[in-house]
Structure 1
């Protein structure tokens, strides 16, 4: 069984400064392993549900957490953490939603040669370095606002702010050039914002890559239990549609990021966390990862450093975050026999047609 839980969820609100990261953790365990960990960490003696956010604030809670983090079963064969850097995701979505749509209509695949990564990372880097922090914040806020609530006014506000940022005296030439990819996208804005339901919700991409990673490791289509929280409840029907594609198992994508579809997962169910110890463990790791990543200057900095040093949180490869130069250079050389977006768009259309025919 795979148990999933998340932390730092703010839905499409990617500008939440108090929660700059979203994390998703999954635990793969048998019933026997669950029973073993319960006994060896003193779960019954603890006497209540595991919640990292409350446990790390007390001496006794930290002792239980230390037993969990240092338990021999809490390793890379049983725990898979992932995360998304929300501010970077704003720029990744500007590229994916706006620029990619424009290029697609002009017969250009932005994902070949990692052009999407180059643009998203460049925009994010220049934005961080820009001296006019208020104008950059306005640009980011107006993009998120436009995607969350598309209207004539929100669209106008975003493109107006884009021009203000382009021509600001502190905008470097390279940033100006990258921002100049955005204004021409306005003629495709209706198409770009058509399917806004799944935009900038980070649950689906992290869940999908986690399932793919587990399948690569085990070659088993595991059953899944989610915590009964908003992101899973809202997206389970869509995730089931990816699982239920009526196509032979197909490998799509680029290089090391290749995926298998239909989504290689078994039954997916929503459960109450207080009834599932595996979900509670997933909560501990997801919340601990957000705790480790989020800057702080309070009395828990020392404990944060301790969490950061845990082996399970070193070199997390499942992430949506700024890329290294080496990663981008490697990705530029990769090719795909089957483009993942073309594949998903083609077969999601079939899914929609089949659903309509059954109504």
Structure 2
């Protein structure tokens, strides 16, 4: 059984300053292993549902958390964390939703040669170093607003702010050139608008790459159990569609990011977290990862540094975050026999995929 839970979910609100990261953790564990873990950590001493947010603030809770984090069962063979940097995701989605649509209509695949990554990372790094922080924040906010509430007014505000940012005296030439791709996309905005909310949800991409990673490791299509929270409940139907696609198992994608469809999982069930310790464990690791990543200055900084040093949180490969130069250069050389978007479009149908 694979148990999933998330932390830091703000839906399409990617500009939430207090919650800049979204994390998804999965735990692969048997009933016998759960019984062993409960015994070793003194599960019943806490006396209530195990949630990281309610445990790290007091000594007893931290003592139990330390037992969990350091238990031999809670290793990389059992726990798989992933995360998304929401601010970076704004720029990745500008590229994926707007620029990719424009180039697709011109017969150009932006994902070949990692052109999408080069543009998304370039926009992001230029933005965070731009001296006019207020204008950049307005640009980001207006894009998210257009995604959340698409209208004539929100579209106009976003493209108007794009022009302001291009013309700002603090905008470097490289940033100006990259931003200049965006005004050209307005002629395709009606085509892109219906899919915006779907693309900007971070649950499906992290869930999908996590499932793919487990399948690579085990070759087994594990059953999945997750909490009855908004992100999972809202996406359950679509994830089941990806699992039930009526096609032979097919490898699609580029380089190390290649994956298989139909989605390699068994049954998908929603459960109440207080009834499933596996979900509580997934919550602990997801919430601890957000806790470790999010800057803070309060009395828990010392414990935050301790959590940051946990081996399970070192070198997290499943992420939506700025890419290293080495990664981009490697991706530039990758080719795909089957493009994943072409594959999904080819086998999608309006009855089962409202969001295709």
**When the two structures are superposed, what TM-score results if normalisation uses the length of structure 1?**
0.97
Kept in 1: contact 2:166–2:180 (CA 8 A): yes
Query: How many residue pairs get matched?
Result: 354
| Cα distance in 2, alignment partners of residues 46 and 354 from structure 1 | 44
Question: Gapped runs of 5+ residues in structure 2?
Answer: none
The 5 Å alignment of 1:87-102 reads 87-102=87-102
The equivalent of 1:29 in structure 2 is 29
Residue by residue over 1:49-79, the C-alpha shift from the partner in whole angstroms, topping out at 9 and shown as x without a partner, is 0010110000000000000000000000000
1:119 equivalent in structure 2: 119
Q: Secondary structure at the match of 2:72?
A: coil
- Spell out structure 1 runs of 4+ moving beyond 6 A: none
Partner of 1:218: 218
Show the counterpart of 1:169: 169
Question: Is the Cα–Cα contact under 8 Å of residues 147 and 199 in structure 1 kept in the other structure?
Answer: no
Matches of residues 304-323 of structure 1 in structure 2 within 5 Å?
Answer: 304-323=304-323
Cα shift at 1:199: 2.5
Distance 1:83 1:355 in 2: 26
Equivalent runs, 1:141-220 vs 2, <5 Å? 141-220=141-220
Q: Distance in 1 between matches of 2:25 and 2:162?
A: 36
Classify 1:30/1:354 alpha carbon distance in 2 versus 1 (closer, same or farther; 3 Å): closer
> 1:354, CA displacement in angstroms?
6.5
Tell me if the contact between 2:24 and 2:82 (Cα under 8 Å) persists in the aligned partners. yes
Q: For 1:275-314, list aligned pairs within 5 A.
A: 275-314=275-314
1:302–1:103 distance in 2 versus 1, CA, 3 Å: same
Output the CA distance in 1 between the equivalents of 2:42 and 2:152. Answer: 57
* Alpha-carbon displacement from aligned partner over 1:241-278 (angstroms, at most 9, x marks no partner): 00000000000000100010000000001000000000
Q: Shift in Å at residue 195 of structure 1? A: 2.1
* CA distance in structure 1 between the aligned counterparts of 2:170 and 2:353, rounded to whole angstroms: 52
Q: What are the residue-to-residue correspondences of 1:232-311 with 2, within 5 Å?
A: 232-311=232-311
- Matches of residues 305-344 of structure 1 in structure 2 within 5 Å? 305-344=305-344
In structure 2, how many angstroms separate the alpha carbons of the residues matched to 1:307 and 1:253? 34
Q: Alpha-carbon deviation of 1:198?
A: 1.1
Question: What's the CA shift string for 1:85-134, capped at 9, x where partnerless?
Answer: 00000000000000000000000000000000000000000000000000
The one-character-per-residue Cα deviations of 1:176-224 (angstroms, maximum 9, x if unpaired) are: 0000000000000000112234121100000000000000000000000
Q: Does the CA contact (< 8 Å) of 2:75 and 2:312 recur in 1?
A: yes
The two structures have a TM-score, normalised by structure 2, of: 0.98
Q: Secondary structure at the match of 2:4?
A: strand
Structure 1: runs of 5+ lacking an equivalent: none
Question: What is the Cα-based RMSD across aligned positions, in Å?
Answer: 1.0
Residues 1:354 and 1:16: Cα distance change in structure 2 (over 3 Å) = closer
